[in-house]
Chains A and B, each alone.
Chain A
Amino acid sequence: MIPLQAVALALVALGGLAVVVARDIVRQALVNGFFGLSLVVLFLVFQAPDVALSAITVSSAAAPLVLTIAILAVRRREGRR
């Protein structure tokens, strides 16, 4: 196993822990973005460019979109009350 893979593995492990530990949902959405990016690097280093491509699009476009809109919808209703 080359050192690049070991570093990528360590980053993903830290990222996963950070996502769970971030209890505020706005902060967690941001950390989830970084966790997705570290997953992309891991997929690339595992010689899987197709998977890395779908992980990039999903974790930087689709997932933050649905997360942010859900958080906003909840916050807006709470602010209204």
Chain B
Amino acid sequence: MSYLPYALAAWLFLVGLYGVVTSRNLIHLVVCLAVVQSSTYVLLLAIGYVEGGTAPIFNGIPLGKKTVDPVVQALTLTDVVVSVTTMALLLAIAVEVHKRTGTLDPDELREVRG
């Protein structure tokens, strides 16, 4: 029971990876990649959790109170915002591929020529 969040992280990673491997549409592939990324967020936050802890913002709570780890939260929050930008870059690549070859199916794309 106490390892359930880690199991969730592994589950999200494998499920997202399965989606990437068996995808028939480049845009579907990009969203599955976002699922893989979210597995890392869950893992980071699960590692930093302290039983009975509260959020590490000392606005109205005394200084000695037990809080969850702030470092993993700082890492995760910048990551969440940056991940949507990289997802946009991948989607731009997908749109360009469709423009040049007329298809979004990875199996139908030929090798790069020239």
Q: Which residues of A contact B (CB under 8 A)?
A: 1, 5-6, 9, 12-13, 16-17, 19-20, 22-23, 25, 28-29, 32, 35, 39, 42-43, 46-51, 53-55, 57-58, 62-63, 66-67, 70-71, 73-74, 77, 81
Residue of B nearest to A50 (CB): B77
Q: How far is the CA of A52 from the CA of B72 in the complex (A)?
A: 13
Determine if B27 and A74 form an interchain contact, defined as CB atoms under 8 angstroms apart: yes
In the bound complex, what is the Cα–Cα distance between A12 and B4 (angstroms)? 12
CA distance A71 to B30 in the complex (A): 12
Q: Are B35 and A70 within 8 A (Cβ)? A: no
B73 in contact with A50 (CB, 8 Å): yes
Q: Which applies to chain A's interface (DSSP): helix, strand, loop or mixed?
A: helix
Contacting A25 at CB < 8 Å: which of B8, B25, B45, B102? B25
Cβ contacts B1-34/A at 8 Å (1 or 0 each) = 1101100100110011011000011011001101
Which residues in B have their C-beta under 8 angstroms from that of A23?
A: 24-25, 28
* B80: Cβ under 8 A from any A Cβ: yes
**Cβ A48 vs Cβ B31 within 8 A:** no
